[in-house]
Amino acid sequence: MIHAFETLVKGEIQMINVAIIDNREVVRTKIKERLQSENIKIVSEGTSSDEMLNIYEEHITDVIISEVDNNKKDTIHSVKKLLTKRPQASIIILTSDEDKEFAKEMIRLGVKGYLFKTNGRNEIKEAIANVKNGHSYIDGKIIHEIMLDVRRLSDLEEASSPKPIFQPPELLTPREWEILQQLAFGHNNETISKNMFLSVNSIKNYVSNILNKLGAEHRTQAVVLAIKNNWVLV
């Protein structure tokens, strides 16, 4: 472990205490620069995932952001160890490794966030805020892979009688259906914003409304529900 800072509250803004784990100091520095914000405080840094539990127990940490170790089994072991002892811990994997099967394994273990280092700073900050509040935030490419798995299972179950796409008009507005379809394609808020010529804040509001109407806790759950009910294409 490298260093730590105290928790603080700035005015009415509750700080989000974040720990960063990456074996390269230059990468940790870049991540810190991208996370500069009045409500994000870096409370600790580490160089490998086996420091997760110590960091979580020794510092008031809301979110741990971790790269994948060179030996992925070490990351799996560390995540299991932390979440077994502290199931409330919030972990975001921020990586350059695009192994989607490993990503799905991490999500199955209970990681709440999974992003790539190519994601923009605003999306990383949004992920931190979502995870801090008990929600999940998964990169669109990973969501799309999960959705394809769901679709393959659905296709196997319904191979003899495939159902057409049907979007109940009483459930969502036409615009909300469009945005749910974009989510099913694995697009993030910024991409949907560009595709639909709407502001990112408007997309966030639409997504929030969709989740409320569908009774979903996060967008992944909403898309899984949509695929199972043949509301969207994948």
Q: Summarize pLDDT for 85-101 with one digit per residue, the tens.
A: 999 999 999 998 888 88
Q: Where in the chain is the domain with CATH 3.40.50.2300?
A: 9-141
Position 3 pLDDT exceeds 80: no
Q: What is the pLDDT of residues 98-138, one digit of tens each?
A: 888 899 899 889 999 999 988 888 889 989 998 998 888 88
pTM over 0.85: no
Rounded to an integer, what distance in angstroms lies between the CA atom of residue 42 and that of residue 63? Answer: 10
Q: Cα–Cα distance between 221 and 216 in angstroms, integer? A: 6
- In the chain, ranges of CATH 1.10.10.10 domains: 160-228
42 pLDDT band, cuts 50/70/90, is very high
Q: DSSP secondary structure string, 24-52?
A: -HHHHHHHHHHT--TTEEEEEEESSGGGH
Interval 70-90 mean pLDDT: 93
CATH entry 1.10.10.10 includes domain 160-228: yes
- Give me 154's structure tokens: 């659905």
The whole-number pLDDT of residue 49 equals 93
pLDDT at 5 over 60: no
Q: Where are the beta strands (DSSP E) in the chain?
A: 9-10, 13-14, 16-21, 40-46, 63-66, 91-95, 113-116, 137-138
CA distances from 202 to 68, 88, 207 (A): 33, 31, 9
The fold adopted by the segment(s) 9-141 is Rossmann fold (3.40.50)
43 vs 216: CA distance, rounded Å: 32
**pLDDT of 192 strictly over 70:** yes
Residue 31, pLDDT > 80, answer yes
pLDDT > 70? residue 8: no
Q: Which of 12-16, 70-74, 198-202 has the lowest mean pLDDT?
A: 12-16
